[in-house]
Amino acid sequence: MEFAPKAFRETRVNTTKQVEDALQWTKNLTDVRLDLLRAQPAVLPILRMSTCPPIARDRLTGLAGVSKNLVLKMDRDGEIPPRMKTADLLCDLEKIGNIIEKMADPDIFVWLERKDEQGTEEEIHRAATIVADRLCGAVADPIIRNAQEHRQLAAMRKWLEVKGYRILQPGEANSFEDMPAGTFSFRSNVPVYLDDEKKVNIPVDAVIMPKNAASGSFPVLMEAKSAGDFTNVNKRRKEEAVKMSQLQKTYGDKITFNLFLCGYFDSGYLGYEAAVRN
């Protein structure tokens, strides 16, 4: 109740600015040109939330009769499929632009019914805020969860520094195993082996080498997790279990992987993680 509204509002303010930029590029949604979509493919999520009703990816694909991969790459990755033929690309982008213009929400973009490209400054800002709210509402849980995880790491850093630990400096260690005693780092990559013996890096929120660590000891690995309800955590519980399994396979039973949990984690989640560990 204290931090979630602030985190959501800050994200919405930033998103509103992005929507205002998109409106400027499209002449306030009256000219969704294929050259714009080609140059700024990341604008597609904003355009999808600007219609009445908002259009999901698959529905846009069907309504426009365009490549599913094109819509997915633009919407998720903010890019154009590199191998798509130019003629097909231009045709599909034009179709997408036509659908957006045809379905633009006249109750939000009130100047459209006036056959007007301009709109007042107040109208444009209000419209941008509504679209931004739609965008943020669709990803409210990740926004709040990410903000909470930042707060968790900030609290962890404060606690460690009070205990006399210091942040690891760039170039100070060649790997997470070489960290000097009494140091810590955030958002670090730890190499592990997959089932097919392929080596990859997995992200770990915090790596801490204890002050009293003996030579050859592993640092403490910590993951900051936050959840706003019980249902969501049970969908995500396998993520930590997979990491633990990969770490043990690569480094043996002596490596530890600790969870710093804030929010709604019930006995089902905790029991699952304990069973995997044992």
Q: What per-residue confidence (pLDDT) applies to 140?
A: 64
Residue 237 DSSP SS3: helix
As to burial, measured by CB atoms within 10 angstroms (0-12 exposed, 13-18 middle, 19+ buried), residue 16 is: buried
Contacts of 144 (CB under 8 A, 6+ apart): 4, 7, 8, 226, 228
Contact between 61 and 48 under an 8 Å Cβ cutoff? The reply is no
Evaluate whether the domain defined by 141-277 bears CATH number 3.40.1350. Answer: yes
CA 266, 270, 273, 278 torsion-angle sign: negative
pLDDT tens digits, one per residue of 183-201? 999 989 998 988 767 889 9
Q: Taking the domains of the chain in order of start, what are their residue ranges?
A: 4-138, 141-277
Give the integer Cα–Cα distance in Å for 182 and 203: 21
Contacts of 95 (CB under 8 A, 6+ apart): 64, 65, 66
This prediction has a pTM of 0.59
pLDDT exceeds 70 at position 229: no
Q: What percent of the chain has pLDDT over 90?
A: 50
Please give the average per-residue pLDDT across 200-211, as a whole number. 92
Confidence of residue 129 (pLDDT cuts 50, 70, 90): very high
Closest CA to 224 of 141, 157, 274: 157
pLDDT tens digits, one per residue of 39-94? 999 999 999 999 999 999 999 999 999 999 999 999 999 999 999 999 999 999 99
pLDDT exceeds 70 at position 228: no
- Can you point out the beta strands (E) in 156-241? 166-167, 183-193, 199-209, 220-227
